[in-house]
Structure 1
Amino acid sequence: MGPSDIRDLLTAFSPSLDLFAMSAGDGRIKIWDTVNGQIQTEFADITSSDAASIYAGSVKGHLSIDYTCMKWLSLEEKRKRKHTSSLLVLGTGSGDVLALDVSAGQLNWRIGDCHPGGVKAVSSSTNGSCVYTAGADGMICKIDCKTGNLLEKFKASTKAISCMSVSSDGKTIATAAAQLKIFNCSDHKKIQKFFGHPGSVRCLAFTEDGQYILSSAVGERYVAVWRIDGAKKKSVSCVLAMDHPAVFLDSRCTPSRELDNVGVSVLAISEVGDCYVWFGNNIEELRNVKPIKISLSLEEISSRNYMGALPAIYAAKLEGIHNPTSGQILLVHGLLVKPSFQKISVHSGSDIKLNFSDDGVLLRLNKSLAKPKKAKDVKKVTALDRANAEDALLPIPKLFDSHVQEQEFQDSSGKEVMDGLVRSSESVSMEIEGTAKIYHLYCRMK
């Protein structure tokens, strides 16, 4: 049974982790409630830029939208402190950037052709009122989240930017193209650049304190940790090994037992749907620690029962760090049609195997629809057409010697069948009588 592949899946948690957005490449965006595990709403056919409702009522043309990245923001209005707007910002392959108000179910704003060639990444600070986008044109755009106005734009690379991340305090921004570069958000000056990824960088993430940047590239089975200190030439500070390349990164910091250091926790999800977690009091300890591997127990599951999508872990978030050796994680796993949301506690040195249950999932193939294994299981049916219709068996007419036999047959077979057979018997009797007359006439002639 081959592993799952979640490279093309887009996921995002709301800032409060109570909602989860997912797009599987079909032009739809599904919003799930992580508390009760039920789907809240679905967005499709986003074609206009007005504030009309876009709750999925029609699915016509939804495949035409190619989403490439997403970021979930939470905006609190100053006049209405209790009111919080949940905004989901998305980039498309056609270069558009749009923002969905999830709570209201409407399209807030849209910027057409913001990045010619396609939007590659979208990111923002923890409590920022603006969002940054990067594209194939090598440009970085700063957009006002509430209005959708383009605030500023600057050139970050002469080549296409594959990934981008903004620090939690909103002061620095990291971009990945041919090189990994760190910029100052205020004046766009380059702070530092790193070399070491031969392939295209797939994911970037700042540590919570902003002192390190995590990166992972296509085809590389490790997570690189870089220290941001302004040095001109800087090699990687730490390498965290994995069995498969990463598609998602997350990090949290916690007070360390050491006075001068901050504990660092790193989470990564591989492209086959396994989750890795590293805990350490510092970067040096993180380098030598063995990761916690969280995976689904799929030994008893046959890939023939699923239509090309095996259960996997395809989203996770470090929800809380108890100490430098343990924490709590929110996991999203199972099948895309009905994901499961689970909070688990993890401890250093203990791998976790999650049980999978497909109760209530409607993706299982019916046995009658499955292809037979052997040729002997195939039932052949001969169709009666003009070529072989003469081989069909016709009903044999019955002749009755008395009315008693006729009545018994009529009671058992029905009136309609009886009428047909009587007509057949009459025609046969006429044929026999005509044949007899011809025979007697022939005999007289002789």
Structure 2
Amino acid sequence: MVGDVWDFPKAFSNSGSLFTHCASNGRLTIWDTATGVLKQEFTKSAHLNSTCSCLVWVQISKHNGHKRKKLKSSQNVAENLDLIALGTTVGNVTLYDVTTNSVVAELEEHSGKVNHLTWSSSLNSLFSCSDDKYIIEWDLNLHKIKRCNKWKIGKENVSCILALSNGKHLLSASYSIKLWDLEKKQIIKTFVGHGTEVTSLVEVPNKDGYFVSSGKGERVLSVWSLNSSEKKSNQIASLILQNSAQSVQMLHYEGERPTILFAITEEGMLQIFKHKFNGNLCKPLKPIASLSLASGNNESKHSHPIAIQAVFPYPNDKILIVYGNLPFLTFEVVALNEIEQENIVLVRQYTKKVPVNEFNSKTKVPIGSNDVDYQIPGVSLKRGNKKAMDVPLEERLENLALVNSQSNEGPKKDNMAHLLLQGLQSKDKNILQSILLRTEQSVIDVTVKHLPVQALVPLIRELTVFMQGKTFTTKSAVEWLRSIVRTHSGVLLSNPELTEMFGPLLASIEAKVAVLAPLLKLKGRLALITEQMGFNLDEKSEDTVEPIYTYEEESSDEGDVEKMSEGSLSESEGSWDEYSDLGDGVDEK
């Protein structure tokens, strides 16, 4: 049972005294957080057929009906019971009693996988959502559906739900988040902005009405206002993470103290935000501190990072963190006033279990020669010459040749389709990036043309992730999407899930296009500034500076010019004299 806790459901109890985890084999384990001791283990009889998909802690009030003699009346005495509600992949909801270590009830109504569970203490109800596109409100005292409280949510699967503390509304999320009126079963408002499936919803417990959401693979936490008047609302603030969020917790104080938000990233780092939720934020909010763990064994000179698995905030400015691998989990309380720096690394004595290999194993394998001839009984072997045949010298020289004349041709472009299929099936990021980041149009067209129809949906999902990246990945994703639409337009139009498939893409494109107009304005202003600066530089360069020294070189050409000019002047004077003599003669006549 040694493994990582990330991929399976886990949760703290309402008081933080117990921590539970459900593994892939269906085994439910419960730890005492004060002592770090494994308290209970439970495995259902049909655990192999129904794997746990989600869980939530539930506290219900049970009435035992004892009579009090002093009051001389029959009064029900309320007793709180701690239950764990387990959603399964076959559509059942199992209620497990921690006190008796037994299953209380099996709630069977969903026809698909139960995606998420949420508990409403004000309504004393459990809500569940499933792949069958229904939301059900359960009465846990009667172990059945509450009256007329099963309704269909639409065409898309819901990945996460949250019952609000007012007992009147519920949030359901897929790629968009919808606010429901529980009495009328109608959608009041829709919150749009996520490009992937929403994985967690957390309510800010104040009167102003805010909640925080995180999407799958997104490095931003979105803050929304429930009191906005618009039917389609956008986020009012965003919190930046170092990596995508795995879980989000909230610590709220009454009065003017800011709310503290804890987010555990995919790498196992705890990032802490502190903010007073009151209106829109223009700039994204950064964490005030980041807490991570590292191993510091005396035996090893190298330290290794230790992933934080979960966090539980206490109201006395302390948090409880869980780290380690199953079945050895460690629980530690950390005071918030000790976290004063922006990046804090706590060194702990932690040893990972070393896998058994040939060096530390007690079982030794005898070393034998490679040329041993094993004889199988019952099989007669023919006698023959066992000597290896000598390879001719010409073939050896051909094998040693550095340049092969027959292998000058490059790899065929058709092979990219097979490699892309392998990457989509194995979800290998290196293979997918090496193919999808190529921008040669001919390679893209040939690869898309040879892809089978079944690979289009997972390919579009991968390209959706690329569209949420930076400019380089977005550009390559656009080229691939253009080729897919041009080549397989008929197949895409016949797909009934076309809207769900291209919904995240359209949301990402709209988010990027919304920034285009401000960017063009900024580009125009920068162009005006740079042109003005260049014009000023040209004016400065035109100002002439008189030289300090001037050297004039004598030339024979200049002398010839002077002589020519003198000769022309003398000739002109002679001609004037002739004209003057002629004029005098005319007058005398």
Same fold (TM over 0.5): yes
The C-alpha deviation readout for 1:362-387, integer Å capped at 9, x for no partner, is: x333454679xxxxx99722579669
Alignment-derived partner of residue 161 in structure 1:
158
**Bigger Rg, which one:** 2
Distance 1:161 1:342 in 2: 35
Alignment-derived partner of residue 224 in structure 2:
226
Offset at residue 197 of structure 1 (A): 0.6
Equivalent residues of 2:9, 2:21 under 8 A apart: yes
Alignment-derived partner of residue 263 in structure 2:
268
Offset at residue 188 of structure 1 (A): 2.1
Distance 2:310 2:287 in 1: 21
2:145 pairs with 1:147: no
Distance 1:196 1:6 in 2: 30
Offset at residue 194 of structure 1 (A): 0.8
Which segment drifts farther, 276-285 or 183-192? Answer: 276-285
Q: Which amino acid aligns with 2:262?
A: L
Distance 2:360 2:155 in 1: 51
Q: How does 1:346-361 map to 2 (within 5 A)?
A: 346-347=336-337, 349-350=340-341, 351-358=343-350
Q: TM-score, normalised by structure 1?
A: 0.70
| CA separation of 1:46 and 1:276: change in aligned 2, threshold 3 A | farther
Distance 1:34 1:8 in 2: 21
2:195 pairs with 1:203: no
SS in 2 for 1:282: coil
The C-alpha deviation readout for 1:106-131, integer Å capped at 9, x for no partner, is: 1111123x332210000012454210
| CA separation of 1:330 and 1:240: change in aligned 2, threshold 3 A | same
| CA separation of 1:174 and 1:5: change in aligned 2, threshold 3 A | farther
Alignment-derived partner of residue 22 in structure 1:
21
Q: How does 1:76-225 map to 2 (within 5 A)?
A: 76-79=61-64, 83-112=79-108, 114-126=109-121, 128-151=123-146, 152-209=149-206, 211-225=209-223
Offset at residue 5 of structure 1 (A): 7.1
Offset at residue 66 of structure 1 (A): 1.2
SS in 2 for 1:124: strand
**Aligned residue-pair number:** 349
Distance 1:174 1:279 in 2: 24
Distance 2:45 2:139 in 1: 20
Higher relative contact order (CA 8 A, sep 6+): 1
Q: Which amino acid aligns with 1:380?
A: I
Please, which runs of 5 or more residues in structure 1 have no aligned partner? 48-61, 372-376, 388-446
Equivalent residues of 2:191, 2:232 under 8 A apart: yes
SS in 1 for 2:336: strand
Equivalent residues of 1:125, 1:166 under 8 A apart: yes
Aligned sequence identity (%): 24
2:321 pairs with 1:338: no
Offset at residue 353 of structure 1 (A): 2.1
Backbone CA RMSD of aligned residues: 3.2
| CA separation of 1:81 and 1:294: change in aligned 2, threshold 3 A | farther
More helix by percentage = 2
Distance 2:359 2:201 in 1: 44
SS in 2 for 1:107: strand
Equivalent residues of 2:241, 2:287 under 8 A apart: no
| CA separation of 1:203 and 1:358: change in aligned 2, threshold 3 A | same
Distance 2:120 2:142 in 1: 17
Equivalent residues of 2:179, 2:190 under 8 A apart: yes
| CA separation of 1:233 and 1:120: change in aligned 2, threshold 3 A | same
| CA separation of 1:103 and 1:265: change in aligned 2, threshold 3 A | same
Offset at residue 333 of structure 1 (A): 1.1
Q: Which amino acid aligns with 2:223?
A: V
Offset at residue 185 of structure 1 (A): 2.3
Equivalent residues of 1:315, 1:331 under 8 A apart: yes
Equivalent residues of 1:166, 1:206 under 8 A apart: no
Moved over 6 A (4+): 299-303
